[in-house]
């Protein structure tokens, strides 16, 4: 059975309170107060659904009390009917302005008052039902969003892994590069994050860009699958002819990924992967390969990976070269600002160089081991 509605009756005259009590007692649970302060106090303790509120009382008057009830945190759930001998239109309007839900003029018809009270309870129930419904809708939405986020995270993790494993596979014949994919991915992220904070590319680099770059950067050399071992693993300098063949890795890789692009819904990520793969050996001054693009014709993602790639090549041992001192690598990069590299990206590199050093000094093998374990788990 539904519990009785709770009404607080407020009047400074005991006789008025008695009349209202007699009228309402059969249907409602009642509490009374003799002035404004007491009313506010009982609102907190008794938590009435409805307050029948006299206006002219010693202390705080009914208008002010009503206003305070309605402004309190639970005020939206407390209905207020002003009950007053003040009958002029101005006085009644003032009552509505102080947010009363209804206004009854004394002397009142008993049945009418009873019905007006019941109407307020109907309204209040309707509010409560709506409120509950909104709560349920919000809870449902939150749960849905949570599930979508979880699923998305799962799918993304698996995709990351598959993509990375693919890149790793393509990289596996290149004996010296070791953990260079992990480093290039990290360097590219560090650079891109720096560029998202300061400089001309702040508006171009959002979370989506960063996520796509995280996955796309390890793919930059995937075209090396098409380069013969004799060239890829040659201990000494490449001949011109061999280097011409080596240059083809950007085209082989980009074309392989473009085939996927036509069939896939992950278009934005794959487009970036194609850009990075095809254009990571372009140079800012237009003297790179294979397209010979210059400046901002080269996609930003590729300009970022270009620097990360060369920095990694310089600081690592290759079959054809020893690892350079860090200072030397830094100088080569900075001196190539405007020729090989975008000057704005080199500026970013100067700022976040410490983060490069920090990453390079930590144990990448551990990171790789984790990736391998996950790869086994998902069968990738
Ligand atoms: P990689 O070894 O990963 O080098 C990537 C890029 O880093 C190079 O692109 C180049 O821009 C830069 N880089 C590498 N070593 C040096 C260096 O000693 N000095 C300077 N200033 N920059 C350096 P690049 O030249 O287009 O070469 C692409 C790839 O071709 C290289 O990737 C490597 O796999 C191969 N390669 C290039 N030259 C030789 C070589 O003389 N012998 C052999 N065996 N492979 C080479
Ligand atoms: C009274 O009936 O208590 C006086 C009038 C009023 O409260 O507004
Ligand atoms: C390669 O090209 O064979 C490795 C390094 C790179 O292209 O950046
Ligand atoms: Fe390359």
For the domain with range 172-379, which CATH number is right: 3.20.20.70, 3.40.190.10, 1.10.760.10, 1.10.3210.10?
Answer: 1.10.3210.10
Q: Chain-centre distance of CA 50, in angstroms?
A: 42
Render pLDDT for 258-295 as a digit per residue (tens, 0 to 9).
887 776 666 788 899 999 999 999 999 999 999 999 99
* Closest approach atom of ligand 1 to CA 281: 26
Confidence of residue 364 (pLDDT cuts 50, 70, 90): low
Residues with CB under 6 A from ligand 2: 11, 13, 16, 54-56, 84-86, 106
Q: Residue 377's pLDDT is what?
A: 55
For the domain with range 6-138, which CATH number is right: 1.10.760.10, 3.30.559.10, 3.40.50.2300, 1.10.10.60?
Answer: 3.40.50.2300
Q: For residue 213, is pLDDT > 90?
A: yes
In angstroms, the CA 261 to CA 253 distance is: 12
In angstroms, the CA 245 to CA 240 distance is: 9
What are the start-end ranges of the H helices in 198-342? 207-216, 229-232, 240-247, 249-263, 267-279, 300-315, 326-335
Nearest CA to ligand 3 atom 8: 309
The crossing angle, in degrees rounded to 10, of helices 110-171 and 180-197 is 140
- Is the backbone peptide bond immediately before 290 cis, with ω within 30 degrees of 0? yes
Quickly list DSSP for 337-357: BTTTB-HHHHHHHHHHHHHHH
Q: Residue 277's pLDDT is what?
A: 96
Spell out the domain ranges in the chain: 6-138, 172-379
What's the whole-number mean pLDDT along residues 38-47?
95
Quote the tokens at residue 109: 């018809």
170 C-beta closer than 6 A to ligand 1: no
φ, ψ dihedrals at 30, nearest 5°: -115, 155
Residues with CB under 6 A from ligand 3: 221, 224, 249, 280, 309
Render pLDDT for 320-332 as a digit per residue (tens, 0 to 9).
999 999 999 999 9
Q: In which residue are the tokens 């300009």 written?
A: 303
310 C-beta closer than 6 A to ligand 1: yes
Give me the percent of the chain exceeding a pLDDT of 70: 92
Render pLDDT for 104-119 as a digit per residue (tens, 0 to 9).
999 999 999 999 999 9
Average pLDDT value over all residues in the chain: 90
Render pLDDT for 135-183 as a digit per residue (tens, 0 to 9).
899 999 999 999 998 888 887 777 777 777 777 777 766 655 558 888 9
* Whole-number Cα distances in Å, 254 to 205, 250, 270, 321: 22, 6, 10, 27
Full strand arrangement of the beta sheet holding 79-84:
29-33, 6-10, 50-53, 79-84, 102-105
Confidence of residue 56 (pLDDT cuts 50, 70, 90): very high
Of 93, 24, 217, 48, which is closest to residue 33 (Cα–Cα)? 48
What's the whole-number mean pLDDT along residues 7-11?
98
């Amino acid at each position: 059975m539904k519990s009785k509605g709770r009404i607080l009756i407020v009047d400074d005259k005991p006789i008025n309170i008695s009349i209202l009590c007699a009228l309402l007692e059969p249907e409602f649970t009642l509490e009374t107060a003799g002035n404004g302060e007491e009313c506010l106090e009982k609102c907190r303790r008794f938590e009435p659904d409805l307050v029948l509120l006299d206006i002219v009382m010693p202390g705080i008057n009914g208008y002010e009390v009503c206003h305070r009830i309605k402004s309190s945190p639970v005020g939206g759930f407390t209905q207020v009917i002003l009950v007053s001998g003040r009958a002029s239109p101005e006085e009644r309007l003032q009552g509505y302005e102080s947010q009363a839900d209804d206004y009854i003029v004394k002397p009142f018809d008993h049945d009418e008052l009873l019905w007006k009270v019941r109407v307020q309870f109907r309204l209040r129930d309707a509010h409560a039902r709506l409120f509950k419904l909104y709560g349920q809708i919000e809870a449902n939405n939150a749960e849905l969003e949570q599930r979508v986020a979880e699923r998305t995270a799962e799918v993304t993790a698996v995709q990351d892994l598959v993509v990375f494993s693919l890149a790793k596979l393509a990289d596996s014949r290149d004996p010296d590069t070791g953990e260079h994919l992990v480093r290039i991915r990290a360097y590219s992220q560090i650079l891109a994050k720096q560029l998202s904070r300061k400089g001309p590319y702040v508006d171009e680099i959002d979370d989506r860009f960063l996520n796509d770059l995280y996955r796309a950067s390890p793919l930059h050399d995937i075209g090396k699958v098409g380069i013969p071992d004799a060239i890829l693993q040659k201990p000494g300098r490449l001949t011109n002819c061999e280097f011409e063949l080596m240059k083809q890795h950007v085209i082989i890789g980009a074309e392989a990924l473009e085939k996927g692009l036509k069939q896939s819904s992950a278009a934005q990520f794959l487009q970036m992967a194609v850009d990075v793969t095809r254009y990571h050996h372009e140079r800012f001054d237009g003297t790179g390969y294979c397209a010979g693009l210059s400046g901002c014709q080269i996609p930003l993602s590729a300009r970022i990976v270009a620097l990360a790639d060369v920095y990694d090549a310089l600081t690592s041992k290759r079959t054809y070269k020893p690892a350079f001192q860090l200072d030397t690598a830094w100088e080569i990069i900075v001196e190539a600002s405007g020729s090989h590299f975008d000057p704005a990206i080199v500026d970013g590199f100067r700022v976040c160089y410490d983060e490069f050093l920090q990453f390079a000094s930590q144990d990448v093998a551990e990171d790789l081991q984790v990736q391998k374990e996950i790869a086994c788990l998902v069968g990738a």
